Chains A and B, each alone.
Chain A
Amino acid sequence: MMSKSSPLDKRIEIPENNQWAAERELEIGRKIQASFLPEELPQPAGWQIASQFKAARMVAGDFYDAFTLVGGKRIGLVVADVCDKGVGAALFMALFRSLIRAFADQHYSLGWMDLLTSQPIDAQPDRSVSRRRELLSPGTTALKKAIELTNNYITRNHGKTNMFATMFFGVLDPATGNLTYINGGHEPPMLVGQAGIKARLNPTGPAVGLFPDLDFNIEVVELEPGDLLVAYTDGVLDARSPEGESFGERRLAWMVQQPAASASALLEAIQISLNEHMAGIEQFDDITMLALRRATSPQIE
């Protein structure tokens, strides 16, 4: 069948249409993906939580999250980097983020319900003391479950895609400053105190999504008044200058130790420094940072 337009017209016309359609679809994807990042960060009394996020392309494979668990008694904090780039990584970002949130929410609620219902009242004359002691424990199993179930879900249902994510998932008890965490193959977050870097929260297990039933260990660290935790993705370290020099771990370590008015002011300062380092050249990886700071003295609301 003959078309009205000549073959040459067609060749020009169709790719333009396709490109326009593809760009429009990507723009829709970008907007929907943004809804998978938290609209607001929880701000428990006496704490600051801040984030910086700059995608390298229209859609990103990095993500961060911060959400309340068990009615605000705990705060979940996530920084993750899905492998590879582009639309594939973006789809998996949405999946990883949702699984972690849903499993964490479910298992934290279950853990606390178990506690309240299973404890025999008569056997514990001083209930308030024993209960307080036990309230620390449901968190650890719920955290482990959330990561293990996510790992098994991804490997069992999407194993053929070979998609995985490096992921830091911490759960903060705002009352005590204890942060229980699993680091699944992710860049170690830095814990900064008055005298400098106190600890790097090294991996406690592999990246999430490699093989089913892998082991993830739990660690606990305490944030004392004035302490700061900065979690980030490798896009920060690997940001290149026009000369090809990486921003690097040392620069970041130096930056996080500089005095700042707030957690968000600190991350903004790091972002400015990153922008100066890249000096307008194309950013090739997503840049994500999440900061958690404990006030120096108990805050009066």
Chain B
Amino acid sequence: MEINMRQEKQLAIVAIIGGVDALTSGEVNSFLSQQIEDGKNRILVDLSQVDFMSSAGLRAILAALKESRQQGGDLSLAGAQPGVEKILKMSGFTNILKTYPTVAEAIAASGM
């Protein structure tokens, strides 16, 4: 798994590449935490290259979502593949955070 980040005005776009499971979720968690600690509390997670997400991955997303909101920011998701999308929907994550079909749509919706 790999994590890349770019900044689009105030929006930190974090692209995860690979699978997020019990082995790799710790890395996702600490990466996102670090960004929020550094003041980048408006985060968009690009899931377009994530082929697998386990409940440990969802937990890392939940942790970052709460942290970003506590700092006055927010976290949203974009580009989930069908398998990941199914898990996000089933577990109710699509009701607790914003999801977008693509990064471009997420950026447009962010009004920046």
Interface of A with B (CB < 8 Å)? 81-86, 159, 162-164, 166, 184-187, 203, 205-207, 210-211, 214, 285
Contacts and interface: CB of A to CB of B under 8 A. Distances in A.
A30 B31 CA distance: 33
Give the one of B55, B59, B63 with max A CB within 10 A.
B55
A166 B59 contact: no
A83 B92 contact: no
Nearest to B94: A206
Contact of A162 (B59, B91, B92): B59
B66 A159 contact: yes
A83 B58 contact: yes
A210 B25 contact: no
A159 B96 CA distance: 15
A207 B22 CA distance: 18
Interface string B63-88: 10010000000000000000000000
Contact of A163 (B59, B92, B96): B59
B95 interface: yes
Interface in B5-37: 22, 25
Nearest to B61: A162
B90 A210 contact: no
Contacts of A163: 59
Given A84-B22, A162-B62, A164-B62, A214 B56 contact: no
A186 B89 CA distance: 10
A24 B93 CA distance: 38
Nearest to A208: B92
Contact of B92 (A86, A159, A206): A206
Interface in B82-112: 90-93, 95-96
B17 to A, nearest CB: 19
Query: Which of B58, B90, B96 has its CB near the most chain A CB atoms (within 10 A)?
Result: B90
B55 A210 contact: no
A205 B62 CA distance: 17
Contact of B91 (A84, A166, A211, A285): A166
Contact of B25 (A84, A184, A186): A84
The listed residue with most B CB atoms (<10 A of its CB), out of A81, A85, A162, A214, is A162
Contacts of B91: 166, 185, 203, 206-207
Contacts of A164: 58-59, 62
B43 to A, nearest CB: 16
A228 B25 CA distance: 37
B96 A210 contact: yes
Contacts of B93: 206, 210
Contacts of B58: 83, 164, 207
A295 to B, nearest CB: 32
10 contacts: A81-B55, A83-B56, A83-B58, A162-B59, A164-B59, A166-B55, A187-B90, A206-B91, A207-B58, A214-B95
Contacts of A186: 90
Contact of B95 (A83, A162, A206): A206
B56 A84 contact: yes
Contact of B96 (A162, A166, A206, A285): A206
A84 B62 contact: no
Contact of B22 (A81, A85, A185, A210): A85
| Shortest beta-carbon contacts, A-B, top 3 | A206-B92, A83-B55, A185-B91
Given A210-B92, A285-B54, 9 more contacts: A83-B58, A84-B25, A162-B59, A162-B62, A185-B92, A186-B90, A206-B95, A207-B58, A207-B92
